[in-house]
Every structure is written in structure tokens, then in C-alpha cells.
């Protein structure tokens, strides 16, 4: 166990932090649940505040605030719910390779250098330690100073990855003011910032890696599934 994992496990990192997630509408609906029952349960059991941005945008911001242990529990519950959604979707599909759970953090650009590390050393360490795939977008999200950080893997790997990310946030606070990303209403016929059409390109471009939305994965052609399996080897 690394020093940072020991710090997280013994509670010394138990300070209040805020993490922001970018989600598609279907993902938001999944964690809200029928009459808000799912998100209510997540709030109660995690001890974290989970707020979902209003609006009719195809993408929404989910803000998780609380002590770090509460944040870890909230992320674990969200990732587990998405894992259940993937399993349920596969029962009515001929897809044989199970896609990973994918979460998209919205991360201050001034902290991305610390997350990546010199020569990519930090992000490599996080990948190897947790087993999760972590990719930092090369460009800022529109009209903001934040970037998308995509985490993909099992719910357990994602939670461990979030532990490391919280350590980075505490060790390297953001520099200057952060202009938060706010999803805009997208006119009919166009696509959202992290829409699946970027996925094919992202399979080949380091630093611009994106994953298909869990529901859309089931409709991708077989060669894309093979590409994913190749990348995970």
C-alpha cells in the first residue's frame, strides 16, 4: 500500500472537498432514480452532498461535496449503479464483451499538470496502482478553465482512482481563479461536448481519450469492441 493509500485509509485525508462530474441525461436519470429515491439513498448512505445542475442541456453537472471518505462512498455507489445498468443492458444485447464503467470528472486545468506528473509519471502510477484507465483531455472545456478527466474501469478501480485524485487536489491546490464549465443547451441536430462520436477518434489519440456512453456502447460496431479489448491488454 502506498503512502497516499495509507493516508486515505487512516482518515487523515478526511477533509471537505468538491468534485464535479459531467454526465449525459440517461446517466443522470439513473442516479436520480424513480421519484429521486436512488440519489436520496446515495446522499444518506455516503454522507456527501450530491447536487445535479438544472436545465435542458444533454449534459449535466453533478457536484459531490463532503468529507473525502463520503466522496469515496458516493463515487463507489454511482459507479456500482452504472455497473448494474451495463449488466442490465447486456441481458437484451448480443454484445459479449462487457464495457467498463466510465465517469467523467470536470477538473481545474491548473491542477491537471500535477495529475499527469512529470513526463506522465503520476498518471501512469495511478493507472498501474488502481487498474483504472485515466485520461486527461488536452483542451479546456468550452468557456471554462476546466478539462475533462475520464476514468474507466471496475467500480472498485474507479473508487481507488478517486482517492488518488483527491490526494493530488490536496497537495496541489488550483492556481488562480477557476472558470467552471457549464453545459449549454445544444440545438437539435448537433452533439454535446463529450458525445460518443468522439470515441472512434479517441481510441487512437493519447491525451484525447474518451469512452462511449454506457448505453451507446451496446450499439457500437464489433470492430470498436475489438479496439477496446486491444487497448485493455
How confident is the model at residue 190, as a pLDDT? 54
Q: Estimate to the nearest angstrom the gap between the alpha carbon of 97 and the chain centroid.
A: 21
Q: What is the pLDDT along the chain (233 residues), one digit of tens a residue?
A: 444 444 444 444 568 999 999 999 899 999 999 999 999 999 999 999 999 998 778 899 999 999 999 999 999 999 999 999 999 988 877 877 889 999 999 999 999 999 999 999 999 999 999 999 999 999 999 999 999 999 999 999 999 999 999 999 999 999 999 999 999 876 655 554 543 333 332 322 233 333 344 444 344 444 434 333 333 33
pTM: 0.76
How confident is the model at residue 55, as a pLDDT? 79
How confident is the model at residue 13, as a pLDDT? 54
How confident is the model at residue 189, as a pLDDT? 56
Amino acid at each position: 500500500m502506498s503512502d497516499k493509500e495509507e493516508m486515505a485509509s487512516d482518515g487523515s485525508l478526511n477533509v471537505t472537498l468538491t468534485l464535479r462530474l459531467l454526465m449525459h441525461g440517461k446517466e443522470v436519470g439513473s442516479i436520480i432514480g424513480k421519484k429521486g429515491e436512488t440519489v436520496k439513498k446515495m446522499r444518506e448512505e455516503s454522507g456527501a452532498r450530491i447536487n445535479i445542475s438544472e436545465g435542458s442541456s444533454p449534459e449535466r453537472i453533478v457536484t459531490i461535496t463532503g468529507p473525502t471518505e463520503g466522496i469515496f462512498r458516493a463515487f463507489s455507489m454511482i459507479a456500482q449503479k452504472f455497473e448494474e445498468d451495463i449488466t442490465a443492458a447486456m441481458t437484451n444485447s448480443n454484445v459479449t464483451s462487457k464495457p467498463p464503467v466510465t465517469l467523467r470528472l470536470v477538473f481545474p486545468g491548473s491542477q491537471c499538470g500535477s495529475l499527469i506528473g512529470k513526463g506522465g509519471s503520476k498518471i501512469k502510477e495511478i493507472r498501474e496502482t488502481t487498474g483504472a484507465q485515466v485520461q486527461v483531455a488536452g483542451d479546456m472545456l468550452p468557456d471554462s478553465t476546466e478539462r475533462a478527466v475520464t476514468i474507466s474501469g471496475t467500480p472498485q478501480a474507479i473508487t481507488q482512482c478517486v482517492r488518488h485524485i483527491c490526494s493530488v487536489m490536496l497537495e496541489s491546490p488550483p492556481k488562480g481563479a477557476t472558470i467552471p464549465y457549464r453545459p449549454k443547451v445544444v440545438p437539435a441536430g448537433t452533439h454535446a461536448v463529450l458525445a460518443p462520436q468522439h470515441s472512434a477518434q479517441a481510441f487512437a489519440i493519447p491525451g484525447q481519450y474518451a469512452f462511449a456512453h454506457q448505453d451507446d456502447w451496446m450499439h457500437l460496431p464489433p470492430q470498436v469492441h475489438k479496439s477496446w479489448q486491444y487497448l485493455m491488454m
